[in-house]
A and B are shown apart, each in its own frame.
Chain A
Amino acid sequence: MKFLKVRCLLIVSMAVLFVTLAPPSSCLAIGNEECMECHSDDSLSRVESEGMKVELYINQARFEVSVHNANDVACVDCHSDIEELNFDNEVPHAVSLAVVNCDKCHEAEAEAYIDSVHKKAGGKGITIPCYACHGYHYVSHLESESVLERENGFCLKCHNPNKFHEWLPQMDTHFAFVECTVCHAPEVPRYVNIRFQDLKTNKFLSGEEFLAVLGTDSDGFMALVDEDKNEIIDVNEFEDLVFLLLEKDVRGTFHGEIVVAIEPIVHHVNRGVANRACEMCHMPTSPFFENVRFSLSREDGTSQNYVVERKVLETYYMNHFYALGGTRIRLLDQIGLALVVGGAGIIIAHLTLRILTIPARKQRKQKSPFEQEQDGGEK
């Protein structure tokens, strides 16, 4: 009897231990490999009742480099209504899956999106889910310094900016150098991103290529450039960087673009809040040029950024980036002032002398009428 009691206790203890140490349910759930057994077939598709063909193929290689895969997000973490697969049936899971709820993980983004123009469009019978912009399975980092890449990746998928910006002087220039959200989501922090363009190949150097030229890596870059160790590349250090590149026989130009920070709040794009006053940007006091970064892109779509002193934008090292008012060369204003003061000074001095010498000229006229006659005759 006593033996039976001990055996029962042992069985119960082991059962408790098994339940306690068992992995969470998600780990027991279906793995990506099982999904890919069917979804790696590029002919997999389904015809909906309306006759529309829906592709069900997932490109494994592209999925693997996606930001979700990098963070170990499994298929069923998003498609959470799939609880089991029944391989005995023709279709292993329900044909119509529930709409994927991105808010579950991306709370801050979802919050910023609630009051955005894109969410509000839902009231007009349009639904703009996250994946309308971000895509389905191949969501990747987009910290690109290129405004065009950023816009092509998102805004320009649906919007034709040429329709609504006729009022904007130099429309093309704005579109080429300023990301849409810089104006359309004014509360988002923004940066001037500087990239290096090789003039020999006429291409922007990737971070890796740029560091290879300098013979360093991302850890050694600031040690090489930031001489005063204040974590900011100031004008003198920027100048030294230019000379360092010249020593390496690399001739290029620094190219700037204004982009927003990739933060959840960037989803708060709204109607009527876009910045339209030119003065907001085109002034030396504009906050648009306060945060300047030198960007070195990484292969995974992220980038390493280094803080650059704003004054660099006001130098000839940035010959190919000029924002009216905001990045003007101050030295020219001093030259202008000297010209105005000099010109005015000469005029005032000459005029004063003319006024002071009026009595002398009058006297001369009165004293020598013969000379005056002679002058008249000559003319």
Chain B
Amino acid sequence: MKASSELIYIHPGPVRVWHWVNALGIVLLVLTGLQIRFAEILDFFTLEEAIKVHNYVGFIVIANYGLWVAYYFGTGKIKIYFPDIKTFLPNVIKQMKYYGGGIFKGDPNPHVMTPDNKFNALQQKAYLGLMFIFLPAQMITGVLLWRVKEYEQYINMLGGIKIVDTVHVLLFFFFGVFLFVHSYLATLGHTPTAHFKAMFTGYEEHH
């Protein structure tokens, strides 16, 4: 560690547990999801195994989401997900300029992480949609597809099983791509592994 660096406790224990359980869960859901959808091409699991694992892991991810909700709402930290409307747009532009140009020139990241201001404007925008729209939509459609006959009434209210499945499948592709993009963006710290380490230790290094 360089002398000029400073360690700041950014990721509390429950958040780290939630993050890694969620990460492992999403990876398994994407893999089993691929097996379920493309059974004619892939052969990681039998379809029966893939469906079982997908169902169990799905419920673990839902329970884990409950942990996230309880922690962030219980502690009031949920506000880190909501951007300040006045500064949001300029910050998005600044952040986009950094990722699209400044980062290549060696400019400093315009956003400095603090426990109360953990996410940059782009992250806030992405995670707000992810945690409040995409993930819940994926969980709801997943539960409906888990018991098609039992939840027939709700499925019909939403327009039929193909509509529910379409939402689930499109979000499945989105989460599949998200895994790669998110992992890549995590390498954009002051060193490629800095953010990964922080997500285990809880401490981000500031320079």
In the assembled complex, B176 has its CB within 8 A of some CB on chain A? yes
Interface pair B176/A340, CB less than 8 Å apart: yes
Interface secondary structure of A, over-half rule: helix
Given A169-B52, A169-B55, A343-B181, A319 contacting B105 (CB threshold 8 A): no
Establish whether residues A319 and B159, one from each chain, have CB atoms under 8 Å apart when the complex forms. Answer: yes
Contact between A347 and B40, CB atoms less than 8 A apart: no
B178–chain A nearest beta-carbon distance, Å: 8
Contact status B40-A320, CB under 8 Å? no
Kindly state the separation between the CA atoms of A253 and B159 in the bound complex, as whole angstroms. Answer: 10
In the complex, whether A357 has a CB less than 8 A from a CB of chain B is yes
Question: In the complex, which residues of chain B have a beta carbon less than 8 angstroms from the beta carbon of A210?
Answer: none
Q: How distant is the Cα of A322 from the Cα of B172 in the complex, in angstroms? A: 17
Interface size on A, residues (CB 8 A): 49
Task: Please indicate the chain A residues that have their CB under 8 angstroms from the CB of B146 in the complex.
Answer: 170
If over half of B's interface residues share one DSSP class (helix, strand or loop), that class is named, otherwise mixed; here it is: helix
Chain B residues with CB below 8 A from A376, complex form:
4, 207
Query: Is B169 engaged at the interface, CB distance under 8 Å to the other chain?
Result: yes
B206 touches A (CB below 8 Å): yes
Q: With the chains together, A175 CA to B162 CA distance in Å?
A: 19
Mark out the residues of chain B between 141 and 179 whose CB falls within 8 Å of any chain A CB in the assembled complex.
146-150, 156, 159-163, 165-166, 169-170, 172-174, 176-177
A353 in the interface, Cβ–Cβ < 8 Å? yes
Which chain A residues lie closer than 8 Å to B39 at the CB level? 278-279, 282-283, 325
B177 adjacent to A361 (CB under 8 Å): no
B36 within 8 A of A: yes
B132 at interface by CB-CB < 8 Å: no
Contact A322 B165 (CB under 8 A): yes
**Residues of chain B lying within 8 A (CB to CB) of residue A335:** 170, 173
Bound state CA distance, A333 and B104, in angstroms? 34
Please indicate the chain A residues that have their CB under 8 angstroms from the CB of B180 in the complex.
343-344, 347
A357–B105 CA distance with the chains assembled, in angstroms: 7
Q: How far is the CB of A294 from chain B (nearest CB, A)?
A: 18
Among the listed B46, B165, B207, which residue makes an inter-chain contact with A379, where contact means beta carbons less than 8 Å apart?
Answer: B207
Interface residues of A in 211-267 (CB under 8 A from B): 253
- The residue of chain A having its C-beta at the shortest distance from the C-beta of B112 within the complex is A379
Q: Which residues of B contact A375 (CB under 8 A)?
A: 108
Return the CB mask of B77-106 against A: 1 if under 8 Å, else 0.
000000000000000000000010001111
Other A-B contacts than A282-B36, A336-B169, A379-B207, 5 sampled, CB-CB below 8 A, are: A253-B160, A278-B47, A316-B163, A320-B160, A340-B177
Question: Can you identify 18 A-B contacts, CB atoms within 8 angstroms?
Answer: A167-B48, A170-B149, A173-B149, A278-B39, A320-B160, A322-B162, A325-B36, A325-B47, A328-B37, A329-B165, A332-B173, A335-B173, A336-B173, A340-B173, A343-B181, A346-B181, A350-B99, A361-B104
